[in-house]
Each structure stands twice: as structure tokens, then as C-alpha cells.
Amino acid sequence: MKRRKERIDRGVKARSADIFALTSYREMLYLLIPGAIPVVGLLCFTPILSDYWREVMISTAVYALLAMSWDMLMCAGLLSLGQSLFFGIGSYLAGSLNYYAGLPPILTMPIATIGGGVLCTVLLLPVLRLRGVYFAMVTLVLPLMLSRLVEATRILGGTEGLTGLTPFPNQLTALFVIQLALLAVLFGFRRIMGSDYGLVIKGISDNDRSVMSAGLNIYWYKTQVLFLGACVGCFAGAFGTHMDMFAGMPGFALDYSLMPVASAVVGGTGTFAGPLIGAFILVPLSEMLRALGALRIVFYGLFLVIFVVGLPEGIFAYVQRKYQQRERWVDIS
């Protein structure tokens, strides 16, 4: 006797997909609870943690931002292996504005976000016309070469970096800043990808030929997505700089490239919530496994392989399915 798994949408999901959702509090709760979890979890839960874990939460949020930026690029079929490019450029921009011009974080961060977004977009613009593998290659190579540039020409503080930058007034401020940014990006990106615009973006990675023949300039759309992703990445960099009071070559380190990819793949790509979940699993885990040293990176590498090959949908899609559908085994003969 053979069995097959049958998946059926829950009644509440079917009802709440329409205007009828407004007729009952159960449907409204069904719709609101998933969105409320990150808001309540981040804004209410993290402030009561100890100083050390707040610090961990902040660095988790930085990685989560990079992971969501990675996911945005992935939506348009751009595989970035160099999120550290965005992080490093955002970090150096904010750092030098603060170090040389003496601007406060409230100015350096927005300038570095937008300016870094423009800079990274211009840097990567020529690659957008090429196959996906090229984007991966160039993004992997660029940050490492840029850090060499800094080392060789001794600009921007050289190997020493820029130190003694203005910190945030206190830890709690930093925590709220980064977590508000995280929520804004999460809901903003989800909103964008849920719209018709998002449909076009996904169309580009799915079948660019079809989008081209629909009279849309795919390079212009890819550029827009690249700009969005780069801005978020650069914001993470600018924030990290003021957090550590330091901007330097470690901003281009491989860590900032690997962790976001691993988080996004483990959490589930294309959903933005997935990368968030992935980062909130992997980064604290990495903190707890600090004693293992290099073995941590081995684990992340293996996570990446296992999830890409074996569980490409990721954790979030699995949770989402459980939330929205009932499953049962049925006999087939």
C-alpha cells in the first residue's frame, strides 16, 4: 500500500485571504500574529536581556540586515558572495565622514546609506548584463581587492583603520535603532515583493526573456534592486562602524559575506523573514560556539551545502506551511 501526503489549506487561511477577514477576530488574529511576532519579540524582549546578550542581539541584527539585503538581490537573480563589499563601503563612508569631517552619527548614517548605495550600484553596474555566475565572482573578488587597495595605498588609515569614532549614546539606543531598521526593512521588502513590482522582479530571475519581451528594461529594474540591497548593506556597515567606533579593513572580511548567505539559505530565500530567522539562529549559535574557533566556519560552510542541496526551501517555508496547511497521509492504491 502506498501513501501520499496531502496538504490542504486551513479554513481560516482561505477565509482570511479575502475581505471577509475583517468579519471575525479569529481571522484577524490569524493574519496579524505572524507579523506581530518579530515586532513584539524584538522591541519588548531584547531590552530585558543582559548587556552581553544585547550586544549579541545587535550583531545578530547587523547580520540579519545583510542577509535581507542578500535576499533582495537574490530575488532578481543576483547572487552576491560579497555582502562585505556593502558593509565595508558603508563602514568606510560613515567612518571617514565622522573622522575627517566630524559629522555626528545622525548625519553620517543616512549619507553613508544613500551614498554607499549609489557607489556600490555604480561599481557593480557593468556586471548586471552578465550571467549570474559573473555577479557572484565579481562580488567575491571586489571586497578582498578593495581591502588590498586600502593596505597598499595607506589611504583611510591603512591597516590601522580609522579609530576613535563617535559611539552611540548608549547600548539601548543602538539596539532600538538597529531593530527599528530591521523591522522597517523586513516589512518594507516584503511589501515590495508582494506588489506587482515584486512580481516583475521575480519574473526577471525566473525568465528574463519573457520580461524583456513585455517591454520592460530588465537592467533598469536590476539596477533598482541592486540599489535597494546595497543601501541596506551600507546601512549595516555604517551602523557597525559607530557601534565599534572603528572603520577598517575587517569591514571587507569574509565573515560579512559568508554569514548572510548561510543565514538566508538556512532560513529560506525569497521571503526576507527566512534570512531574519536564519540570522537569529546562526549568529547566537556562533556566539555560543566561540570556543570551537575555525570549526564554526566549517559548520557554516556545511550548513550552506546541506541546505542548498537537501532543504532548499529553508526553515521559514516549512513553518509557513505548517501554519497555513493541514497535512495528512492518504492511501493510494
Residues near another protein (CB under 8 A) are: 74, 77, 79, 81, 126-127, 129-134, 136-138, 140-142, 144-146, 148-149, 151-153, 196-197, 199-200, 202-203, 206-207, 209-218, 254, 258, 261-262, 265, 292-295, 297-305, 308-309, 312
Q: Judged by CB, which is closer to another protein: 29, or 214?
A: 214
User: Measured from the CB of residue 161, what is the shortest distance to another protein in angstroms?
Assistant: 17
Q: Judged by CB, which is closer to another protein: 73, or 112?
A: 73
User: Measured from the CB of residue 263, what is the shortest distance to another protein in angstroms?
Assistant: 12
User: Measured from the CB of residue 146, what is the shortest distance to another protein in angstroms?
Assistant: 8
User: Measured from the CB of residue 314, what is the shortest distance to another protein in angstroms?
Assistant: 12
- How many CB atoms lie under 10 A from the CB of residue 94? 33
User: Measured from the CB of residue 234, what is the shortest distance to another protein in angstroms?
Assistant: 20
Q: Judged by CB, which is closer to another protein: 294, or 330?
A: 294
Q: Judged by CB, which is closer to another protein: 175, or 264?
A: 264
User: Measured from the CB of residue 41, what is the shortest distance to another protein in angstroms?
Assistant: 28
Q: What is the CA radius of gyration of the chain?
A: 21
User: Measured from the CB of residue 189, what is the shortest distance to another protein in angstroms?
Assistant: 19
Q: Judged by CB, which is closer to another protein: 117, or 143?
A: 143
Rounded to whole angstroms, how far apart are CA atoms 204 and 213?
A: 11
Q: Judged by CB, which is closer to another protein: 36, or 298?
A: 298
3-state secondary structure string across the chain? CEEEEEEEECHHHHHHCCHHHHHCHHHHHHHHHHHHHHHHHHHHHHHHCCHHHHHHHHHHHHHHHHHHHHHHHHHCCCCCCCHHHHHHHHHHHHHHHHHHCCCCHHHHHHHHHHHHHHHHHHHHHHHHHCCHHHHHHHHHHHHHHHHHHHHHHCHHHCCCCEECCCCCCCHHHHHHHHHHHHHHHHHHHHHHHHCHHHHHHHHHHHCHHHHHCCCCCHHHHHHHHHHHHHHHHHHHHHHHHHHHCEECHHHHCCHHHHHHHHHHHHHCCCCCHHHHHHHHHHHHHHHHCHHHCCHHHHHHHHHHHHHHHHCCCHHHHHHHHHHHEEEEEEEEC
Q: Judged by CB, which is closer to another protein: 42, or 128?
A: 128
Q: Judged by CB, which is closer to another protein: 111, or 118?
A: 118
User: Measured from the CB of residue 302, what is the shortest distance to another protein in angstroms?
Assistant: 5
Q: Judged by CB, which is closer to another protein: 185, or 266?
A: 266
User: Measured from the CB of residue 317, what is the shortest distance to another protein in angstroms?
Assistant: 13
Contacts within 8 Å (CB) and 24+ apart, 47-54: 47/172, 47/175, 51/171, 54/171, 54/172, 54/175
Pick from 207, 184, 187, 206: nearest CA to 195:
187
